[in-house]
Amino acid sequence: MRGEDRVRIADHVWEPGDRLPSCAQIGQECGVGENVVRRAQELLISHGVLEGRAGSGTYVAEPRQRVRVVRSSTREQPAESPFRTDMRAVGRQGDWESRTDAKVPAPADIAARLGISEGEPCVRTTYEYLADGKPVQLSTSWEPYDLTAGTLVVLPEGGPHAGIGVVNRMAAIGVTISHAVEQPEPRTATAEEASLLGIQKAGLVTHIRRTYYSDQGRPVETADIVVPVAHCEIVYEIPINR
């Protein structure tokens, strides 16, 4: 199906980066049902020929180099996103798409990580991070609602402090974050993660469970970060205080 990085379907040829028509349109032209087209696209995505982009469609995949993702305490810069800082350091344009839901009941595992009771309301934000427009990382963030309720930072991606990172947002309401704990583990991607990241089904990812703590010892945010091994390499930078 792949020759010189192009994709041919019926009489059409698409180049890398081109957006494919809808499943309905392709099915009509090829005389097959939408489900057949959808399964074919899923197979091509699993082989890296196509890539799915949430809310945008299916595209012909372009050859990609792995992006270096640095995990470091020096990532936090005043009034700027740590992700954008990371991407700029490797010559990439960093951006993201997000969705926030307020007052979501905390599942048992999230409640344990935040030191709250199961079912307590949280602010949940899901992210799809992009490097030069390509998905390189997913994240689901949880914050205790009672911590930020009634403040200008209750919505991580809304208001005057939108998009500047957890450390800077919390500082805006007088909460000082002293440290973070990260637990990275390898696993395979779920079907949804593979589709969003444009990787093979069950492709390898690094799942990072990160929790930020205030200087009072309270967990103020926890997140599940998913990084595809095929697209990214993770580097930990460890500062040494003398």
pLDDT, residue 1, reads: 41
The model scores a pTM over 0.85: no
Q: What is the pairing mode between strands 67-72 and 2-3?
A: unpaired
Kindly list the averaged pLDDT for each block of 10 residues, start to end, along the chain of length 242: 53 81 88 88 75 79 79 71 84 93 97 98 97 93 97 94 92 95 96 88 92 97 95 88 77
Identify the three-state secondary structure at position 130. Answer: strand
pLDDT, residue 195, reads: 87
H/E stretch holding 192 reads helix 191-197
Question: Contacts by 39-46 with C-beta closer than 8 Å and gap 24+?
Answer: 42/195, 42/201, 44/1, 44/7, 45/194, 45/195, 45/198, 45/200, 45/201, 46/194, 46/200, 46/201
pLDDT, residue 62, reads: 74
